[in-house]
Amino acid sequence: MYRSDFPIFSTHPNLVYLDSASSSHKPQIVIDALSHFFASDYANIHRGSYDLSMESSLLYEKSKKAIAKKLYASSDSEIVFTYNATYAFNLIAQSLVKSGLLNRGDTVLLSKVEHHANIVPWQIIAAEYGIIIDWVDLHDDGTLDYDSLAEKLPYAKILSITGASNVTGEILDLNRVKEILDSLEQKPLYILDGSQRFPHMETDVVGYGIDFFVATGHKVMSDTGIGFYYGRKDILQKMDPIFCGGGAINSVTTSGYEPAGLPFRHEPGTPHIAGAVSLLAALEYIDLIWGFATIEKYEKELIEYALKLFATLPSSIRLLGSLSSENRLGVFSFVFDSHHPNDVAEILADDGICVRSGYHCTEPLHTALDVPASLRASLYLYNTKEDIDKLVDKLRSI
């Protein structure tokens, strides 16, 4: 339906792009916004009193406002730009330790479905500062075990969990998590990995009691090298940044420095301004097509269609995760009795079908499910039923 908005499908008319969980393509509006920005508005931000710098700064700030709106955040000063989600997790983990909000012996609760970006930064501080990591278990199909979450949460100082899995496509039930959190006397800090969630739906961070929400721009139709995190204001204020320098300070003397206010104290140096502009354009595009609700509705139709077809595949091809379209993204990972996913991916690539094979940066998940690797096909708003037909036909023939 929205395919014609994306020039990549004109330059590659036979492209069957089923790898949007990895990175998404860009609509013309984003490409035009970048070109217009460099041709007409570019200058460094927050540093010049001339018109161009002000225009550039305005766009950068407008981008934060657009993100804050999609997250129902109280203020755009709660949005911190980073380079991607991985960078955001590293910053948050290190900064929480540095600020004394996470201390030796404290437990960080992760789930076994997490992306490495939400595992390794915690493992680094666990090794360096004596932080303990615990894991929420999964059911045999890879879906989250909410009983395990409820059992382990009372002992956690931090819950850092994905809002939607990049392998099983499971969307975290935020109501259920909130219910468990509300039943606790002492709530842990609640960090949501929104990397796969943000491209497909809004999330009311305040309503769900989320303290940090992390996402990455390139999965939501904008440029690479731009990501962000939302942080609740009172926590951001208590957090000492682990990096500092120009743009992040109010004053410097030979004996010390005074950090700037929020959110700039967490954004040292010249940021990826064009990335912020591209993210703004991507969010404006979503508004133009009547918002995330349109994307969700269209994708739901595709997901239901895909699941119906996948059910007709031979039993030697197994889909990980839930077989229901409820609480599910269009992210489908397969394992094969008699083929390695890498070989299947190569055969599909020969036909112009782009999927991904391997661990998808979720090795603990693959270990928990006792599968060596998987083949992932993932959908976005530019995919069609014909794309799914082509995938299924080819899988069947293999």
Residues of the shown chain interacting with ligand PLP in the complex, contacts defined by CB under 6 A: 84-86, 115, 117-118, 162, 166, 193, 195-196, 216, 227, 361
- What residues contact 17, with CB distance under 8 A and at least 6 apart? 8, 9, 25, 354, 382, 383, 387
330 vs 303: CA distance, rounded Å: 5
230 vs 236: CA distance, rounded Å: 9
Whether the CB-CB separation of 30 and 285 falls below 8 Å is answered with yes
Whether the CB-CB separation of 226 and 83 falls below 8 Å is answered with yes
Which of 242/398 has CB closer to ligand PLP?
242
Structure tokens at 127: 């090794």
Strand pairing partners for 19? 378
Helix (H, G, I), strand (E, B) or coil at 73: coil
Which of 107/118 has CB closer to ligand PLP?
118
Q: How many CB atoms lie within 10 A of CB 231?
A: 30
- What residues contact 276, with CB distance under 8 A and at least 6 apart? 59, 60, 63, 64, 81, 226
316 vs 123: CA distance, rounded Å: 36
Which of 365/392 has CB closer to ligand PLP?
365
80 vs 294: CA distance, rounded Å: 27
Strand pairing partners for 256? 253
Structure tokens at 121: 């930064």
| Closest approach of ligand PLP to the CB of residue 329, in Å | 10
| Closest approach of ligand PLP to the CB of residue 121, in Å | 11
| Closest approach of ligand PLP to the CB of residue 196, in Å | 5
Dihedral, 196, 202, 208, 214 alpha carbons, nearest 10: 40
DSSP states of 76-125: GGGEEEESSHHHHHHHHHHHHHHTTSS-TT-EEEEETT--GGGTHHHHHH
2 vs 289: CA distance, rounded Å: 9
Which of 260/371 has CB closer to ligand PLP?
371
Active-site pick, 43, 235, 309, 361: 361
Whether the CB-CB separation of 108 and 133 falls below 8 Å is answered with yes
Which of 325/378 has CB closer to ligand PLP?
378
Which of 56/163 has CB closer to ligand PLP?
163
Which of 59/365 has CB closer to ligand PLP?
365
Whether 361 is a known active-site residue: answer: yes
Helix axes 120-129, 85-98, angle to 10 degrees: 20
What end-to-end distance do the CA atoms of the chain give, in Å? 29
* Residues recognised as catalytic: 361
